[in-house]
């Protein structure tokens, strides 16, 4: 689950538990935070259609930011979330009131604004 959906303390607990148990922690699509790195567990970096953590100022996929994250020694796998399973075809919305200064920092978005994750990827396709 993404940081923002779960708290700092939950993210830290998952990271510590993953390290102790010897398995990887998935970031969820909300970006990689310092809390995912705190105890040194292996990481599965996930991104979805919002490209949180690896997007440019226009919201497009940023290959250089992605490469920086994917090149970190703790990142052992990348998971590309294809679509929003709970609402296929609709995407998702992060309400402005939940988009805090801290959450926005790790998602590469403007704080206190409504953020839309499209239903489909703009950077990838099958054609």
Residue 56 forms part of a structural domain: yes
Residue 113 forms part of a structural domain: yes
Residue 63 forms part of a structural domain: yes
Each residue of 26-71: pLDDT tens digit?
Answer: 999 999 999 999 999 999 999 999 999 999 999 999 999 999 999 9
Residue 110 forms part of a structural domain: yes
pLDDT of residue 126 exceeding 90: no
Q: Which of 124, 125, 1, 15 is nearest to 61 (CA)?
A: 124
Each residue of 74-114: pLDDT tens digit?
Answer: 999 999 998 776 667 778 889 999 999 999 999 999 999 99
One DSSP character per residue, 63-85 reads: HHHHHHHHTSTTEEEEEE--S-T
Q: Which of 54, 51, 30 is nearest to 118 (CA)?
A: 51
Helix or strand holding residue 8 (H, E): helix 8-21
Residue 126 forms part of a structural domain: no
* pLDDT at res. 76: 99
Per the structure, the count of domains in the chain is: 1
Residue 122 forms part of a structural domain: no
Q: Which range of residues forms the domain containing residue 18?
A: 8-117
* pLDDT at res. 86: 67
Residue tagged 């020694």 (tokens): 73
Angle at 29 between CA 24 and CA 30, to 5 degrees: 105
């Amino acid at each position: 689950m993404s940081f923002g959906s779960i708290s700092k303390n939950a993210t830290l607990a998952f990271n510590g538990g993953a390290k102790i148990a010897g398995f990887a922690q998935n970031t969820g699509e909300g970006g990689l935070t310092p809390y995912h790195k705190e105890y040194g567990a292996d990481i599965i970096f996930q991104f979805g259609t919002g490209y949180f953590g690896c997007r440019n100022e226009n919201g497009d996929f940023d290959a250089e930011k992605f490469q920086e994250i994917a090149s970190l020694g703790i990142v052992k796998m990348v998971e590309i979330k294809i679509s929003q399973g709970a609402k296929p075809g609709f995407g998702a919305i992060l309400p402005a009131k939940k988009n805090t200064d801290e959450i926005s920092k790790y998602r590469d978005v403007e704080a206190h604004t409504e953020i839309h994750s499209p239903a489909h990827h703009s950077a990838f396709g099958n054609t």
